[in-house]
Structure 1
Amino acid sequence: MGFPGTWMTESESVVYRVVPKCACSSIGQIMYFSDHGHFFDGDIHDSKTGLHKWSQEESQAPIAENVTAHKSYAFTCVRNPYQRILSSFFDKIAGIQRNGRRYRGNLVPQLAQKYGIEVGSPENGFEFDQIASFRRFLLFARDTIRWRRPMEPDIHWSAMSGHISTFIVNGGRYDSIFFTEKFNEGMQTVLDAIETPVKVDLAQVPRFNESEGHGPKRAHEVSAYFDDLSRHLIWEIYKKDFQLFRYDFDDPDNKMPVGEIDLDEVHAKLGD
């Protein structure tokens, strides 16, 4: 199994377990800058050099060796589950991707046919019933996670605890898990704990939101998208995420965590 979704600086100053839709573009660029003194030109997910990634065969041995021996500081980042699934919908389902096409080719037409999801288009200014379509998407997301049909769950909406657990189960240990909602504070904690070839001034780092501007803007407050059934589905899918990472299930409009993450509890509950 190894360490899927794990990135490490070439200097081995730090190890990061990617969780999609949780500031991963910004984190990857900061890691890249901390080794090279400049940002990667393009989406950091497309880089093939300058950063060790588990998906690159030549990176697997150094990552595995480092993580199993816990040679470097290891961290990840989490986000409010309500906000994260909404972001996935607007980016991956309703949005147009960087390559100018829909995400995963025929996925959106398939969802239109099977679940009645409409997403509009750039031609009509992405006019569609956002609330109705999102709730139908949520049924689809639950079906992929619960029954793995009509397809395997996508990394962008599968639970954060699932991503985070593979690192622990295969022998890794986190030194820090911080909140996207408190990004600068959490990232600074990481930078303070490590030695990097190039010093990073977080105040000077631009935001790398690769999904920005490719699709419709959210038209309503978060709670408007989640009726009783939607919240039931959200709990079914993300119960562990709410509990372990201390997010507020009762108030979808409160994106902030309501407590601190207990790392020992995370390792105990996700390490089985």
Structure 2
Amino acid sequence: MGFPGTWMTESESMVYRVVPKCACSTIGQIMFFSDHGRFFDGDIHDSTAGLHKWAQEGSQPRIEANVRAHASYAFTCVRNPYTRILSSFFDKIAGIQRNGKRYRGKLVPMLIQKYGIEVGSPEDGFDFDQIKSFRRFLLFARDTIRWNRPMEPDIHWSAMSGHIATFIANGGRFDHIFWTERFNEGMQVVLDNTQVAHPIGLADMPRFNESEGHGPKRAHPVEAYFDDLSMHLVYDIYKRDFVLFRYDFENPANKMPTGEIDLDEVHAKLSG
């Protein structure tokens, strides 16, 4: 199994377990900068050199040896499940991807046909009922996660705890898990605990949101998208995420965590 979704600086100063839709573009660029003194020119997900990634075969032995020995500071970043699933919908379902096409080819046409989702288009200014379509997407996301149909769950909306569990179950241990909602504070802890060739000021650096500008803007506040049934579906899918990472299930309008993450609890509950 190894350590899928794991990135490591070439200097092996830090190890990061990617969780999609949780500031991973920004974190990857910080890691790249810390070794090279410059940001990667383009989407860091497209880089094939300058950063060790599990998806690059040549990086796997280095990452595996490091993680198993816990030789470097290991961390990851999480996000409120309500805003994360909304972001996945607007980016991957309603948005146009960097290549100018829809995400995963036939996925959106299948959703339109089977779930009655509308997504609009650039030509009509993405004019569609966002709330109705999102709630139908939520049914689809639940079906993929609960029953693997009509397809396997996608990494962008599968539970954060599932991503993080693969790292732990295969012998990794996290030194730090922080929240996207308190990004600078959490990332600074990582930098304070690592020796980097090129220091970086988090307050002054750009944010890398590769999905921005390719689709519709969210037209309503977060809580407008979640009625009682939608909240039930979200809790059904992401119960462990809410509990382990201390997010407020009762109030979709509150994106901030409600308590501190207990690393021992995370490792105990996700190790099996």
TM-score by length of 2: 1.00
Distance 2:66 2:33 in 1: 20
Kindly provide the CA deviation profile for residues 233-260 of structure 1, in whole angstroms up to 9, marking residues without a partner as x. Answer: 1011000000000000000000000001
- In the alignment, which residue of structure 1 is the partner of 2:17? 17
Distance 2:216 2:259 in 1: 32
- Is 1:162 matched up with 2:180? no
- In the alignment, which residue of structure 2 is the partner of 1:111? 111
- In the alignment, which residue of structure 1 is the partner of 2:178? 178
Report the AA paired with residue 213 of structure 2. G
2:7 aligned counterpart, secondary structure? strand
- In the alignment, which residue of structure 1 is the partner of 2:139? 139
Distance 1:109 1:183 in 2: 35
- In the alignment, which residue of structure 2 is the partner of 1:221? 221
Distance 1:31 1:259 in 2: 27
Moved more, 179-188 or 224-233: 224-233
Distance 1:122 1:258 in 2: 38
Distance 2:201 2:243 in 1: 33
1:219 aligned counterpart, secondary structure? coil
Q: CA deviation at 1:229?
A: 1.0
- In the alignment, which residue of structure 2 is the partner of 1:187? 187
- In the alignment, which residue of structure 1 is the partner of 2:67? 67
Percent of aligned pairs sharing the same letter: 80
Q: CA RMSD in A?
A: 0.4
Matches within 5 A, 1:10-89: 10-89=10-89
Kindly provide the CA deviation profile for residues 152-186 of structure 1, in whole angstroms up to 9, marking residues without a partner as x. Answer: 00000000000000000000000000000000000
2:15 aligned counterpart, secondary structure? strand
1:202 aligned counterpart, secondary structure? coil
Q: CA deviation at 1:199?
A: 1.1
> Deviating runs (4+, > 2 A) in structure 1?
none
Distance 1:220 1:249 in 2: 19
Distance 1:198 1:130 in 2: 43
Q: CA deviation at 1:204?
A: 2.3
Q: For structure 2, which runs of at least 5 residues remain unmatched after alignment?
A: none
Report the AA paired with residue 244 of structure 2. L
Kindly provide the CA deviation profile for residues 108-153 of structure 1, in whole angstroms up to 9, marking residues without a partner as x. Answer: 0000000000000000000000000000000000000000010000
1:63 aligned counterpart, secondary structure? helix
Kindly provide the CA deviation profile for residues 80-125 of structure 1, in whole angstroms up to 9, marking residues without a partner as x. Answer: 0000000000000000000110000111000000000000000000
Distance 1:21 1:210 in 2: 10
- Is 1:150 matched up with 2:150? yes
